[in-house]
Structure 1
Amino acid sequence: MVKRKLVQICTALLYNGNFAGFTTGNIWKGSSKNICLPGLNCYSCPGALGACPLGSLQSSLSGVFLRIPFYVLGFILLFALIFARLICGWGCPFGLVQELLYKISTPKLQRNRFTYLLSYLKYFITLIFLIILPLAFYHFTGSGVPAFCKFICPAGTLEAALPLAFFKPQIRELLGQLFIWKLTLLCLTILAAIFIYRPFCRFICPLGAIYGLFNKISLFGMKVNHVKCINCNLCMEHCKMDCRHVGDSECIACGECRKVCPVKAISLGKKF
């Protein structure tokens, strides 16, 4: 789907429009950093013009003074109600990276019952690393910790830690066991993405988990004309995500189902 790839590339460039940052390693500090971007894109990426919604949410839960992040939640809710996981399929730079890796010619692990069950893992990770651990650290130490960003997020390692370490000797001197751990996770994610379609999005990403909860009620997304539908199930046979039906919580609106539908019963656009 050429149009989707073009949108993904343009979105990645738009998110990371501070091109000078990639040559100097300096993080953009303009007023646009107060605005959350829809997709997963690290705040500390030298090119990033906006904030990552996950990072912003965790920062609010990790300060010395615990506060409910209404501002960040408002951004996430707005994106979710309008687009939901369509953002994952069309507006996430790290999703694009995984899709490009998947194009490498190798045997592929197709979706199956195990991958479907594994897709629930991201909800567990969201609960533990996005909510419980930051609040637990705050309760026991008086200061929270952005647990997902700090201990897991491979997008942050790729987009921020590696470029900053390359340009900043003082940062390289501080790298330790945590960096090695996160670099290992990034390498495993890259390796997995060569054989498995978007493994981070399907099994790990909290943002995808949150957006997925709104897939059925979002304004835009995939929809099926049930009058035309002949229940041939070709849509599900060609789906690379762990969907049970078009537009469910795992659907990223990639449009593969639309391309194979023999009666053109599937469309992408405004649902209501």
Structure 2
Amino acid sequence: MALSTLLFNPFLKNFKKGALYQGSMKQVCVPVLNCYSCPAAAGSCPIGSLQVTLTNINFEGCKSVSSYILAYLRFFPLYAFGLLALVGTLIGRSICGWLCPFGLYQELLGKITKNKRQGWHYLRYLKYIVLILAVFIVPVLLYDGYGGKPAFCQYICPAGLLQAGLPLIIAQESLRNALGWLFAWKASILALISILSVFYKRPFCRWLCPLGAFYAPFNKFSLLELKLDKDKCINCQRCSKACPVSLTVTEEICSGECVRCNECKRVCPVGAISLGIKKSGNSA
């Protein structure tokens, strides 16, 4: 994940200048949660792109349910949605396990303590609520005649503050003088996620990330899959203890929560877990 973080954020000199890269690559979405406003970022965040496109929807003149639906579909962000769907179809949530910069941040904090708490199982469903409400619905509802607001990016995303907000504030005195309640709110979210990452495995990925929620359903049918050979498995549960998202791997290997990081395969003493291309008719 360290290499992918550098790949998605190669313009490191911009941190010192407090400026953003504005070249042609910025028009291209990357498949991970990587803030557009990060000084070093080469591309655009797909979650941000989804919201920005939806904020252009104007429902003026809509008088029926069908007219509202047509107006929504007219501005629907097919490019960003299609990119994510393609990536999900090919590799599922492997993006989360191998490439995500904010996943790396949580992993590094997690190294502070060895014994992690499991957390509450039902919290995993929060990220689906965040995806539906903060990404697809609220940005449209906040339309004020001039445009809507990217609700997730503006009010929730801790990765945005870490990658963009803090570096820009450090580099630009004018931004420091303009800090208000919104910065305090997002700083509180980032601080909470950071503390939780010390005691729980990748809490943001498991409980709040809308991109993880988007990719999760694709795990069931993506081309790349993890497979468990039940005849070889000795049920030692080493895989479950190593899982960065606290899954019971022997029961949830095809779960949408799996980030396919390969840790379970690495620690399996009998080689019962494999990562490969899905074959027709195969199942875990």
Structure 1 and Structure 2 fold alike (TM over 0.5): yes
Q: Secondary structure at the match of 1:213?
A: helix
Matched, 1:133 2:138: yes
Residues 51-90 of structure 1: pairs in structure 2 closer than 5 A: 51-63=44-56, 67-90=75-98
CA contact (8 A) 2:15 2:168 kept: no
Per the alignment, residue 5 of structure 1 pairs with none
1:77-130 superposed Cα distances (whole Å, 9 cap, x missing partner)? 111111221100100000001000000136531x25x2x211111111111111
Matched, 1:267 2:274: yes
Q: Secondary structure at the match of 1:155?
A: helix
Q: Which moved further from structure 2: 94-103 or 219-228?
A: 219-228
Q: Which moved further from structure 2: 244-253 or 183-192?
A: 244-253
Residues 11-30 of structure 1: pairs in structure 2 closer than 5 A: 11-30=4-23
Q: Which amino acid aligns with 1:241?
A: V
- Name which of 235, 240, 254 aligns with 1:236: 240
The CA distance in 2 between the partners of 1:241 and 1:194, in whole Å, is 13
Q: Which moved further from structure 2: 246-255 or 166-175?
A: 166-175
Q: Which amino acid aligns with 2:133?
A: I
The CA distance in 1 between the partners of 2:95 and 2:138, in whole Å, is 26
State the number of aligned residues: 261
Per the alignment, residue 209 of structure 2 pairs with 205
Q: How many angstroms does 1:34 deviate by?
A: 1.0
Q: 1:255 to 1:185 in 2, by over 3 A?
A: same
1:190-218 superposed Cα distances (whole Å, 9 cap, x missing partner)? 11111111000000000001111101111
Q: How many angstroms does 1:230 deviate by?
A: 4.7
Q: Secondary structure at the match of 1:215?
A: helix
**Percent of residue pairs bearing the same amino acid type:** 46
Q: How many angstroms does 1:168 deviate by?
A: 1.6
TM-score for both structures, normalised by structure 1: 0.89
Per the alignment, residue 225 of structure 1 pairs with 229
The CA distance in 2 between the partners of 1:49 and 1:41, in whole Å, is 10
Per the alignment, residue 3 of structure 1 pairs with none
Residues 156-235 of structure 1: pairs in structure 2 closer than 5 A: 156-235=160-239
The CA distance in 2 between the partners of 1:160 and 1:64, in whole Å, is 27
Q: Which moved further from structure 2: 172-181 or 83-92?
A: 172-181
Q: How many angstroms does 1:229 deviate by?
A: 3.7
The CA distance in 2 between the partners of 1:214 and 1:17, in whole Å, is 29
Q: How many angstroms does 1:238 deviate by?
A: 3.8
The CA distance in 2 between the partners of 1:265 and 1:56, in whole Å, is 40
Q: Which amino acid aligns with 2:123?
A: L
Matched, 1:46 2:50: no
The CA distance in 1 between the partners of 2:277 and 2:179, in whole Å, is 47
CA contact (8 A) 2:201 2:246 kept: no
Q: Secondary structure at the match of 1:222?
A: strand
Rg (Cα) greater in structure: 2
The CA distance in 2 between the partners of 1:49 and 1:223, in whole Å, is 35
The CA distance in 1 between the partners of 2:113 and 2:216, in whole Å, is 30
Q: 1:254 to 1:53 in 2, by over 3 A?
A: same
Q: How many angstroms does 1:221 deviate by?
A: 3.4
Q: Which amino acid aligns with 1:58?
A: Q
Q: How many angstroms does 1:40 deviate by?
A: 0.8
Q: Which moved further from structure 2: 60-69 or 34-43?
A: 60-69
Per the alignment, residue 62 of structure 2 pairs with none
Per the alignment, residue 146 of structure 1 pairs with 150
The CA distance in 2 between the partners of 1:242 and 1:108, in whole Å, is 9
Per the alignment, residue 97 of structure 1 pairs with 105
Per the alignment, residue 128 of structure 2 pairs with 123
Q: Which amino acid aligns with 2:29?
A: C
